[in-house]
Amino acid sequence: MTLVKVCGMTNADDVDQAVAAGVDMVGFVLVPWSPRAVELETVCALRRRVPRGVEAIGVLADETAGYATQVLEVAELDRVQVYGPHADETREVLGERAIVAHRLPADTPGEADPILLDRAFGDEPTEADLAEHWAAVAALGANRRVMLAGALTPENVGAAVAAARPWAVDVARGVEREPGLKDHARVAAFVAAAHGSAA
């Protein structure tokens, strides 16, 4: 079954609802310029609301492997999701506890560790854009742990899972009322559609 990560959690109510909806992972953004950014202290508090069996993931950009390790330890997270020039170094240090973000499949590392394949489509991606992205994930093979992100919504995630067969899907904006605040009905619909479409 394809796993579901809902990212950009900023408050206890949204964490609790996502867990109740059946998410497999929740994400906390520790990137100061993001509209979904939270402080490490907040991540520590919200992490305590995440039950065993649901992974808690910190999202970092342009941070060193040392800082990523510190975040894992201080907030007691399961993994970090990393963007930027230090990402591969972080993967070398943390192994599968680091999910490295890539824009294109050609950039991806070896097969052992999980990766995120993410694309910025702008406000209105075309069906052809999405189909190309999903096909790229499918081409990496069923044995790769690829997390699919980029313009996913409750309306299209079923088709995305069917086409790409990813290890996991990652959503933030597609289930929000506004940046950092989740629409609980859309979260539940996204989880149901992603899990229902998985083989």
Distance in angstroms (rounded) separating the CA atoms of residues 98 and 87: 8
- Tell me the per-residue pLDDT of 103-146, one tens digit each, with 9 for 90 and over: 766 555 556 678 898 876 666 788 888 999 999 889 887 778 99
Q: Is 42 exposed, middle or buried (0-12, 13-18, 19+ CB in 10 A)?
A: middle
Distance in angstroms (rounded) separating the CA atoms of residues 170 and 182: 14
Whole-model pTM: value is: 0.93
Give ∠ CA 170-176-177 in degrees, rounded to 5. Answer: 180
Task: Yes or no: say if 164 and 158 are a contact pair by the CB < 8 Å rule.
Answer: no
Closest to 36 in 3D by CA, of 150, 181, 190: 181
pLDDT beyond 50 at 199: no
- Tell me the per-residue pLDDT of 54-105, one tens digit each, with 9 for 90 and over: 999 999 999 999 999 999 999 999 999 999 999 989 999 999 999 998 876 6
Task: Yes or no: say if 169 and 152 are a contact pair by the CB < 8 Å rule.
Answer: yes
Helix (H, G, I), strand (E, B) or coil at 150: coil
